[in-house]
Amino acid sequence: MKTTHDFMKMKQASEKITMLTAYDYPQAKLAEEAGIDMLLVGDSLGMVVLGYDSTIPVTIQDMVHHTKAVKRGAKSTFIVADLPFMSYHISKESALTAAASLMQDGGAHAVKVEGGGEVINTIKALTTAGVPVVAHLGLTPQTVGVLGGYKVQGKTAESAQALLQESIKCQEAGAFALVLECIPWQLGKLISEKLDIPVIGIGAGKHTDGQVLVLHDIVTFGVDRLPKFVKQYGDVNHVMKESFQQYISEVKSGTFPAEEHTFTMNEEDVQSLYG
């Protein structure tokens, strides 16, 4: 299994870091078998798995439940789990307790927190307590209400400068990696160059030290409208829907089950049953 140290080495060697979200056992198992470097149990869980329209309703219990399933599927992969909305803002104690749940109950190796500002102190408290932290800046979905929508961040020199400064603060506070979401590629490149820790981009261009995407997005599973930064590598919707339709149609027509799907008993025993 790769460690935080290995991710740092990968950055130094200019070897790209691959990260993908996973929310359950089969997804984690397949991603591990495919050779992913790092898994993220994202609070995007709320949207792609639980059917909410944002990440806000996701609870620490939801996150622990799904992190456990991911852990069972990917025993040899570094697992990061998101601290959900409001689980790390109320107090240092609540942040530490929530992180402990993800690591001790869920089996995560690290947690991810959104935002700079006040959250910088939380990153410091978590790392001091032995919790490896991934910071997340740029478009931060938990604060979408404050940001005023899912929009590209850091497009002006002033806002880009602010994002760079926050990124440096995250590193200084002890974060071992930084996720940058939905920013211009030039800013993704600059921050990746300025930081020693690996920068994992999502909609941050090709110059970051690694990339992360949502599993459901890249295989087109349950999702229809996708952000510009997603590339679809497969079409699970099509495969699943076609299989469902065929199953329905074969049951209706009597084609399924066929003999090879059927159990049988001796003719003698059948006769005695009928008397």
Residue in the block written with tokens 């995560």: 108
Q: How many CA atoms lie within 13 A of 34 on its CB side?
A: 14
Is 259 one of the annotated binding-site residues? Answer: no
Residue type, 58: V
The contact mask relative to ligand KIV for 106-145 (x = CB under 6 A, - = no) is ----------------------------------------
Instruction: Tell me how far apart the alpha carbons of residues 54 and 199 are, in angstroms, rounded to a whole number.
Output: 24
Residue 214 engages ligand KIV in binding (rule: CB under 6 A): yes
Q: Which is nearer to ligand KIV, 51 or 275 (CB)?
A: 51
Q: How distant is the alpha carbon of residue 264 from its chain centre?
A: 47
- Residue number with the smallest Cβ distance to ligand KIV: 42
Q: Where in the sequence numbering do the catalytic residues fall?
A: 181
Residue 179 engages ligand KIV in binding (rule: CB under 6 A): yes
Instruction: Tell me how far apart the alpha carbons of residues 63 and 43 are, in angstroms, rounded to a whole number.
Output: 7
Residue 183 engages ligand KIV in binding (rule: CB under 6 A): no
Q: Which of 70, 83, 212, 219 binds ligand KIV (CB under 6 A)?
A: 212
Residue 62 engages ligand KIV in binding (rule: CB under 6 A): no
Q: Which tokens go with 92?
A: 């240092």
Q: Which tokens go with 225?
A: 């409208």
The answer to whether 224 and 215 have CB atoms below 8 angstroms apart is: no
We find the least distance from the C-beta atom of residue 31 to Na ion, in angstroms, to be: 17
Residue type, 135: A
We find the least distance from the C-beta atom of residue 96 to Na ion, in angstroms, to be: 20
Q: Where are the beta strands (DSSP E) in the chain?
A: 17-21, 38-41, 78-82, 110-114, 133-138, 177-181, 199-202, 210-213
| Residue ranges binding Na ion (CB under 5 A) | 42-43, 82
Residue 82 engages ligand KIV in binding (rule: CB under 6 A): yes
Enter the DSSP assignment of 139. S
We find the least distance from the C-beta atom of residue 198 to ligand KIV, in angstroms, to be: 14
Is 92 one of the annotated binding-site residues? Answer: no
Residue 21 engages ligand KIV in binding (rule: CB under 6 A): yes
Residue in the block written with tokens 């939801």: 62
Is 252 one of the annotated binding-site residues? Answer: no
Is 224 one of the annotated binding-site residues? Answer: no
Residue 204 engages ligand KIV in binding (rule: CB under 6 A): no
Binding site for ligand KIV (CB under 6 A): 21, 40, 42-44, 82, 179, 181, 202, 212, 214
